[in-house]
Amino acid sequence: GAFHDSSRYVFDSAIAMYADHYLMAWPERESDTARGARRSPLYQTLKDKGAVYGSKFGWERPNWFAPPGAEPEDVYSYERGNWFAAVGEECRAVRERVALIDQSSFAKFEMAGPKAFETLQRIAANDLDRTPGSVIYTQFCNEKGGVEADLTITRLAEDRFYIVTGSGFGTRDANWITRHMPQDGSVTLSEVTSGWGVINLCGPHARDVLAKVSENDVSNEALPFGSCGFIRVGYAPVRALRVGYVGELGWELHIPAEYVAHVYEMLWEAGQEFGIADAGYRAIESLRLEKGYIYWSSDVTPDYTPYEAGVGFCVALDKGDFIGREALAKAKEAGPRQKLCRFTLEADAPVRAGACILREGRVLGVTSSGGHGHSIGKPIAYGFVPPEEAGHDNYEIEVHGETYPAKRLARAAYDPERKRLLC
């Protein structure tokens, strides 16, 4: 990306790599180098409220919020960092009340043109033949069926689409799209990341808050899950995407950058009676683990198919030809080579990615993600195991040289029926 494409970034990073070589390799450690370059319109507002920032692709992102009286800085540990309790409170706000999360760092693109639908329909594994105003969760797969991207596509019009992916994946995903789009001028792909901020309004009182500040109908009938509404929040025009990564009622509010602070202030004031709170990316990680959501680059990569990663429901084999269709049809018939499983640990252990998954003393695989589920009060881990070993209930996971009993989850640890998400 443009942030990395400078001699200053290369110079500063090279010096830091040498200078930091012998530093303690703390888990969750954030780099101190090349910081502060990309900031959302809410950066200073949230910093003044105790936000402790991390960095992703040059963006400053709020990882957690230090409570009043606490020092707003990370204290790292191989056990629990000093943010553990604060993140737990943020998770409770999302699950029990309502919260705001600044996700402006999402990478965002618009594709338009006479062949826009045809092009994306061939690249995406899911079926994009939906009415305008639909938000489609999909993967991009390679010819072998491996997952190259995991993202959402909103159909704005018959020939116009809004693509949203992770903060660190924009350059990669745009390259994949560009490599597979026609070069005859019938399709254009434009990055619009900097033009749109994103506030995730989430929690059981999210609709109550949004209804107080919008002149539009925000009922479940008007804005069901998987829809995009074009609404007003205060004075601001907003794309309200009824999706999220925390497993609660809520919206990703995509806002023209100059209106972001205004929308945040409106939501914050309207949410006071409901106990509104700020939340950060470490809370998101805990909440998504509880909900069973995957993260591309750890839980799924080009080495695994959607069927192996548990998102085979996004593969529309019957829609016609698309990249990877033949391989995916064969993979579905043959069955998975590996299977992504989710576990809870029965003891309070700081599990992270890279821990051994065992059964009866045999190593079956390693964890791809791990963290504490604050809502369920247990550590959670994901990891791939051979399919013949994936049907048991009891396993062990090794953390810091000790093995702990683990239970395989047949469904998401939190709200497996998606009642809270769809209400």
Which residues, including other chains, have CB under 8 Å from residue 127's CB and lie 6 or more apart? 121, 136, 316, 319
CATH architecture of 195-274: 2-Layer Sandwich (3.30)
Q: How big is the chain by its Cα radius of gyration, in Å?
A: 21
Q: What is the mean pLDDT of the chain?
A: 98
Cβ neighbours of 160 (radius 10 Å): 16
- Segment 21-63, tens digit of pLDDT: 999 999 999 999 999 999 999 999 999 999 999 999 999 999 9
Helices 84-96 & 281-291, crossing angle to 10 degrees? Answer: 60
Domain boundaries, the chain: 7-82, 195-274
142-164 pLDDT, tens digit each: 999 999 999 999 999 999 999 99
Residue 5: what pLDDT?
85
pLDDT at position 4 is 84
CA distances from 361 to 250, 254, 357, 367, 414 (A): 43, 49, 9, 16, 29
Task: State the pLDDT at residue 3.
Answer: 79
Quick one: residue 245, left, alpha or beta (phi over 0 = left, psi -120 to 50 = alpha)? alpha
The pTM score is 0.97
- pLDDT at residue 100, rounded to an integer: 99
List of the chain residues with pLDDT < 50: none
Looking at residue 121, its pLDDT comes to: 99
